[in-house]
């Protein structure tokens, strides 16, 4: 079922499938509900699975396209999505930027949660001076030189295996050029064929908001409330992918878990294991959520 949810300053696109305890899946930077397409069907055999496009991304339009955001606002949006679907309490899984939103939900909206999994939150700010912070600063520097170059740098950081050609300056230049052409051509193709924008078109369209709005809001302007996280009255954990060691979103998840006294679970694959190994992802997430049950 596809519906829209009205929230202050935006109209959020949301989807729901299945029956059982509610499970909200929150996408990371540049993503949308479609990021979880491969796992919705198997998860919906056990859960009422709810996904949505975060404000300003894909099909969730803003009243003011230039509006800033905050992690607190994003967490409020997630609660509004639950309320729209008549859900009092839900399990939440968030990945990357979605994991940061999940952390904020644990801190501020624990009464709406059955349990939560924060998968690879890039909270580099809790490790000041570390190589993870430097990686994000480099990404921000590249993004200031051009959105397409920033998108290539972001994709290189998050994709499971970086193609060899992207590691060279010439390869990055070619990829940026292709993306620039794709950004211009895909909307034309959609108008000719009719229908909604496709997945790649939506992700390319989210690039500006990711690099210019969300990255500063989630990294430069946000500090997790560690005291609130320590006393949160719901079961939750951080998590990382088996193949993510050395990436800037791996160590922060472990450090956060240590700081607030929760375990850090391991998923198969890397940053997007729900796409790389969906069957294993579903088994792992289900096991974790079952472990949260009394």
Check pLDDT > 50 for residue 116.
yes
Global model pTM greater than 0.85: yes
Between strands 10-17 and 61-62, the pairing is antiparallel
Q: Is 49 helix (H, G, I), strand (E, B) or coil?
A: strand
Check pLDDT > 60 for residue 289.
yes
Nearest alpha carbon to residue 150 among 166, 138, 139:
139
CB count in 10 Å sphere of residue 68: 13
* Residue-wise DSSP of 174-229: HHHHHHHHHHHHHHHHHHHH-SSPPHHHHHHHTHHHIIIIIHIIIIIS----HHHH
Q: Which two tokens stand for residue 11?
A: 């109209």
Q: Which two tokens stand for residue 46?
A: 């056990």
pLDDT at 189: 34
Nearest alpha carbon to residue 154 among 109, 105, 102, 219:
219
127-174 confidence digits (pLDDT tens): 999 899 888 888 888 878 777 777 777 777 776 554 444 445 554 454
Nearest alpha carbon to residue 249 among 236, 262, 240, 261:
240
Domains, the chain, with CATH or none: 2-292 (3.40.50.1820)
204-224 confidence digits (pLDDT tens): 779 889 999 999 999 999 999
229-253 confidence digits (pLDDT tens): 999 999 999 999 999 999 999 999 9
* β-pair partners for 49: 17, 23
Nearest alpha carbon to residue 189 among 200, 203, 174:
200
Residue ranges of E strands in the chain: 2-7, 10-17, 22-26, 48-52, 61-62, 90-95, 113-119, 236-241, 264-267
């Amino acid at each position: 079922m596809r519906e829209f949810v009205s929230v202050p300053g935006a109209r959020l696109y949301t989807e729901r499938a299945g029956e059982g305890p509610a499970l909200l899946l929150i996408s990371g930077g540049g993503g949308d509900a479609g990021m979880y397409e491969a796992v919705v069907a198997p998860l919906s055999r056990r859960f009422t699975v709810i996904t949505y496009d975060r404000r300003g991304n894909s099909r969730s339009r803003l009243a003011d396209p230039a509006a800033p955001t905050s992690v607190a606002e994003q967490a409020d949006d997630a609660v509004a999505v639950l309320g729209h679907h008549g859900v009092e309490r839900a399990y939440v899984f968030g990945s990357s930027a979605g994991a940061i939103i999940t952390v904020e939900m644990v801190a501020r909206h624990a009464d709406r949660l059955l349990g939560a999994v924060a998968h690879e939150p890039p909270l580099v700010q809790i490790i000041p001076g570390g190589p993870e912070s430097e990686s994000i600063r480099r990404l921000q520097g590249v993004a200031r030189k051009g959105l397409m170059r920033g998108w290539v740098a972001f994709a290189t950081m998050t994709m499971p295996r970086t193609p060899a050609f992207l590691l060279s300056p010439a390869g990055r230049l070619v990829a940026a050029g292709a993306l620039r052409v794709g950004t211009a051509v895909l909307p034309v193709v959609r108008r000719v064929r009719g229908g909604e924008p496709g997945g790649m078109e939506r992700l390319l369209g989210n690039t500006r908001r990711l690099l210019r709005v969300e990255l500063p809001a989630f990294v430069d302007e946000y500090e997790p409330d560690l005291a609130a996280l320590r006393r949160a009255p719901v079961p939750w954990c951080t998590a990382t992918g088996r193949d993510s060691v050395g990436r800037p979103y791996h160590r922060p998840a472990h450090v956060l878990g240590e700081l607030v006294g929760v375990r850090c679970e391991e998923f198969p694959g890397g940053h997007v294991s729900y796409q790389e190994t969906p069957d294993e992802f579903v088994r792992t997430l289900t096991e974790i959520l079952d472990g949260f049950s009394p």
